[in-house]
Each structure stands twice: as C-alpha cells, then as structure tokens.
Structure 1
Amino acid sequence: MEFTESDVSWLAHGWDLGDAWCLTFVRGLDPAEALGRLGAPEESIRPLSYRELNEEGLFPFTVLAGRLEGWAVLIERNGSEAMKADVTEALSVGAELVSVMRLDYANDWFVYALDGDRVTSFDPRKPAWRYGSDPDRLLDAMREVGVDPTYLPGEQIGTRPPTMSEALLLAAQLTGVALSQEVLNGPLLGGDVGTRLSGS
C-alpha cells in the first residue's frame, strides 16, 4: 500500500495525541504480548479506549495497544518507554520494530530494530547523524519519502528541513501500516507500566 502525507498529517500537524507521544509498531507480537514486554503486568492489561485514557488521566503510566494487520502498535501519550535501549531490545527480540517519537520541546526520534538489535536511529530533523549497528540501512527508504540523509540544520541553505510527516511516512513505508484516527478511537488494550516508570 502506498501512503501519502494525507495519511499522516493528522498526527504530524495535529493535536490528537498532544505534543509528546511515541508510536511503536512491532511485527511478530500481539498487542498483549507487546504490552507485557513493555513492562505491563498481565493482570493490568484490559480493554481501554483512548477517550477513557484521557478522561481518567492515566497517561503516561498506561500505554495503549492495538493491531494493524500483522503489526502490534503501542501508543504512548507523554511517554517514550519504547525508545529506551533495553525496552527496544526486549520488544524486538524475534520481531521487527519501527518507532517514532514526537517531542515538540526537545528532540524527535526514529528507531528501526530487528531481533533485539537497534539497527538505526536518528532525530528526523537531523538525519545526517545516525546511530546503530547499521546506520545506513534505511538510506533508500529515507530518500523515497523525501528525507535527505545528509541533511543537517544550517548546512544546506535553501533545502527544506525534514518534518514529522516524513518520519511517519518512513514508518508507514517500512511497516505497510499507518495509525488512523479510527484505530486510535476504536477498541484497544491498555497496560499499566507505572511500576517500570517509577523504578520500583
């Protein structure tokens, strides 16, 4: 399936998830298993809607999970547990992971991991600085969605800087799925990661 900016603009430029969120797509896990690997005890996992998450003020200690074709999607509002190195490793063991974080007041981030290995990661606004075991793995895919892998702010005069739209399009291209408002507002699972966040 081919995706365009119209498929991701509601997230890239909207406020449905606020100004700080993390979306993580994991192929090879079901939503409950993904929540478990994120640190949610089995007994805490239950049906939960995004509306209930907001109305009850459960974020960032509760993470939502749904299914998009062969992928589990984890939805963190005001959280980014999946971006932590040990969590990325745990989530991607025996699986494939693509994660996008929006953090308007700091750095956005993009991660691609495979079978416990963080293959490449970078700030979508500074794609020339990439990290991981194979930081150049996604160069062709980046170019296809309009990201110049050599871009650094202030160094390419006249070049349009990458945006969150391109980061989300890259995730969609790699996974073949994209989070929609219908999925966000539909039935999901919620899991409590508060114990992990509190460090107890």
Structure 2
Amino acid sequence: MEIAYADVDWLANGHSFSDLWCLTFVRGLSEIDVLRRMGAEERSIRPLTYEELIDEGLFPDTVLAGRLGDWIVVVEESGWDALDALEVLSVETEAVSVLRHDYASDCFGYAVDGELITSFNPMIPAWRSGSDPDRLVDVMRDVGFDPTYAPGDADEREARAVKHPSVDGALLLAARLTGVMLTQDVLNAPLVAGDPAVHRFQG
C-alpha cells in the first residue's frame, strides 16, 4: 500500500516530539550494527522505550533504533547524530534522513555506499547539494515539492510553508524511497538504545 500524507502527518504535526528531532532509515543492517556505525560502545547498547528516553532525560546523548522490515529507523530527540553520520551509515547500503529543526534549518539527506547523493532544506528545494543532486527530482515532484523553488526572501519562505510540503514532504519522500515509515506502535515498543560518541566505521 502506498504511503500517503496521512501516514506521516502524526509525525510532522501531531506527535509529542519536540521542535528538534531526526529520523534516519538505514537498509539491510541490524539495530546494533547501525548504532555501532554511529560510534556507540557495546556497553551503552541496551533495550529502551521512547517513553523511558524522555522520562529519564537521556536525550540527546542516547538514540533509539528499531526495525521496519528491511530497514532500521534511528529515532533522535533533540539531536541529529545519524544525519551527520549518513555517509558512514550508507557504506555498502543506503540511508535516508529527515531532520526537523525549528530554530535553524530542516534537512533531507540521501546517501548510497558512503557517498552523499543529495541533501536539501525542504523549505528551499532548489538549493540541493551532493554528488547527484538531481537524482530524486521526479520523486520530489511526486510528493509535492517544486525542485526549482528558491524563495526570494524570508516573508515568501514563511508564506510558502503554510501552502507547500516541508517536514511532512521530506517524511513522505523518505517513505517513498524506503517503502517504510515509523508508526506509533513501533515507537511505543521496546527499541534498542545506544550512546553515539564518534562517527567512525571501518568495515
């Protein structure tokens, strides 16, 4: 079944995440492998729920990883370690990341086999970087982005945010690329936690 805006709306607009969070999807690895690639030491890896993460105030130093089919989702409250480590996470596979950061800039990133393919601020989809910044243009259009749009001033950006996709569009873009999306049931279940330290992986 195709993932639609209704499937991501609870994350973009209705969930109790803060105004700074990051979701990163990594294909074909285990939860522990993903956390290791982010630099988490073995002794820091343990079961943990999202509720415990919040109640015990463990964020942003601790991140959560859970399985969604062939993908692992990394859930970060008030942090973006996985986005910073996107190229490392994508070695011999692929990784997709969506950052919401209300005090700075949101970000979408896509990496394959250790290389950042494309990255952009969902509010300014024309300003893309990476080794192949146009690779996802067709999918971007499919989820409602205008890949040519670059607002001329802050007022125009603010007006556009009300009418066009931003974080919700980035989440839907990630869902179209991966075929999966974080659900409330997965978020409420026990996940695998780790404390990333350095972004270093040697295969």
1:16 maps to a residue whose letter is: S
Q: CA deviation at 1:16?
A: 2.0
2:116 maps to a residue whose letter is: R
Residue by residue over 1:64-90, the C-alpha shift from the partner in whole angstroms, topping out at 9 and shown as x without a partner, is: 000000001100100001222xx2221
Aligned partners of 1:28 and 1:94 also within 8 Å: no
In 1, the alpha carbon distance for the partners of 2:28 and 2:104 equals 31
Q: CA deviation at 1:196?
A: 3.7
Structure 2 residue corresponding to 1:108, chosen from 106, 119, 130: 106
Show structure 2 runs of 5+ residues with no match: none
Secondary structure of the structure 1 residue equivalent to 2:14: coil
Aligned partners of 1:151 and 1:161 also within 8 Å: no
In 2, the alpha carbon distance for the partners of 1:196 and 1:119 equals 22
Aligned partners of 2:35 and 2:194 also within 8 Å: yes
* Alignment match, 1:179: 182
Aligned partners of 1:66 and 1:72 also within 8 Å: yes
Q: CA deviation at 1:153?
A: 2.0
Aligned partners of 1:120 and 1:134 also within 8 Å: yes
TM-score w.r.t. the length of structure 2 is 0.90
Q: How does 1:128-167 map to 2 (within 5 A)?
A: 128-154=126-152, 160-167=163-170
Q: Does 1:83 align with 2:73?
A: no
Aligned residues: 194
* Alignment match, 1:124: 122
Moved more, 87-96 or 70-79: 87-96
Show structure 1 runs of 5+ residues with no match: none
Secondary structure of the structure 2 residue equivalent to 1:149: coil
Q: CA deviation at 1:15?
A: 4.0
Secondary structure of the structure 2 residue equivalent to 1:67: strand
Q: CA deviation at 1:165?
A: 1.1
